[in-house]
Amino acid sequence: MSNNKKEMVVTPWEVSGEIDYDKLIENFGTNKLTDELKQKLAKHAGYLHSQLKRDVFFSHRDLDWWISQYEAGNKVGLYTGRGPSGDVHLGHLLPWIFTKYLQDAFDADLYFQMTDDEKFLLKENLTLEQAIEFTYENALDVIACGMNKGKTFIFSDTEDISHIYKLGLKVSKKITLSTAKAVFGFTDSDNIGLTWYPALQAMTCFLQSDREKKNVPCLIPAAIDQDPYWRITRDVAEKLGYYKPAQIHGKFLPGLQQGGKMSASQPETAIFTTDNPDIAAKKVVAAFTGGQQTIKLQKELGGNPGICNIYAYYYYLFEEDDKKLQEIDRNCRSGSLTCGECKAKLSRMVKTFLIDFQKKREKAKDSLNDYFIK
């Protein structure tokens, strides 16, 4: 790998290179999340979430409309999901934690899609049985994020297909192969399952409306790479008599190593929720930082939090207190904080977080079934 910036690639299947989020807003034709909208969310939630303050969620489509529907006294809904092809890591939890915040703020039902069919169709060596196993494993992580029982409807595309196939068919009838090819880059070498699948990911935007026999405005909190799916959905929504889904787009949690997002396919870059907490702590200690090569140089020149993954973890997830975060930034730049100290503190926080999360995850096993669609 050269030191040149790698070209940015952001699609539902690949996220790589140096991510320029302003450029994504421009490329994808979305809107920047304004302070005014953030304050509206904060008003309904009772507080401004750190992921809003820090621009982890940074872009949207029609969020203002979705909030105004709620403010007019209408029921509103949420939809997000997961491609279950492996264990869940902190990068996956990021938007789910924010989704829980939205669920509480707007008293919203959440439809959570496990796209085990897509993952099976996409990955040469993944069996369907394995993908389905990950559905149930990953659902424990969703529940452990504190999603509200009775208002959260997790479903597996394969195991719960009877709830979604008909609506998927109606959506699929409105999407031509040409459109799917243009949006997702499908080619004629792709399999006929994969080219069908976008209908199911689009369908979920209308699932609550379909089940409740009334139009419920849907908001999708998700990482921005999934945006192409909703572009298609927005095109077909009105033809089917539904509202276009609103969206709120999140950034990717950086990996522990240099470059790219946290990625399950490179385990050394990722902290999994199922990692042994001590092993996870060691991964943190081995992470890439923005510090100098030696303690001596660090004390002389200071480090650069702007390119530091350890700092990113404080920023994204582990230090919600703004003052303390600023202190880390200041002390790093001045050279009074060494990478060793900074990593040690984060690794303890990660360990504590995992021990707690794993307890919740274990407890979720008792009520797993209660969270699935009926």
Residues lying near a second copy in the complex (CB under 8 A): 117, 120-121, 128, 158, 161-162, 165-166, 168-170, 172-178, 180-181, 186-196, 198-199
Nearer to a second copy, 191 or 336 (CB): 191
Which residues have CB under 8 Å from 344's CB, separation 6+?
Answer: 285
Minimum distance, C-beta of residue 213 to a second copy, in the bound complex (Å): 14
How far is it, in rounded angstroms, from Cα 114 to Cα 148? 17
Q: Quick one: 168 or 221, whose CB is closer to a second copy?
A: 168
Whether 254 and 115 have beta carbons less than 8 Å apart is answered as: no
Query: For residues 5 and 173, which CB has a smaller minimum distance to a second copy in the complex?
Result: 173
CB of 112 to a second copy, least distance (A): 19
Residue closer to a second copy by CB (options 133, 356) is 133
177 vs 279, beta carbon nearer a second copy: 177
Residue 187 CB, shortest distance to a second copy, in Å, is 8
- Min CB(156)–a second copy separation in Å: 10
Three-state SS for 184? helix
Rounded Cα gap, residues 276 and 292, in angstroms: 29
Minimum distance of a second copy from residue 86's CB (angstroms): 19
Q: Which residue has the tokens 């389905």?
A: 132
Q: Nearest approach, Cβ of 168 to a second copy (angstroms)?
A: 8
Length of the chain: 374
Name the maximum alpha-carbon separation found in the chain. Answer: 67
Distance of CA 3 to CAs 7, 84, 297, Å?
12, 33, 22
d(CA 293, CA 321): 29
Nearest to 341 by CA among 277, 278, 298: 298
Task: Give the shortest CB-210-to-a second copy separation in angstroms.
Answer: 12
Q: Judged by CB, which is closer to a second copy: 117, or 275?
A: 117
Q: Please identify, using beta-carbon distances, which residue of 19 and 199 lies nearer to a second copy.
A: 199
Tokens found for residue 132: 């389905």
The Cα 115–Cα 133 span in angstroms is 12
Contacts of 331 (CB under 8 A, 6+ apart): 337
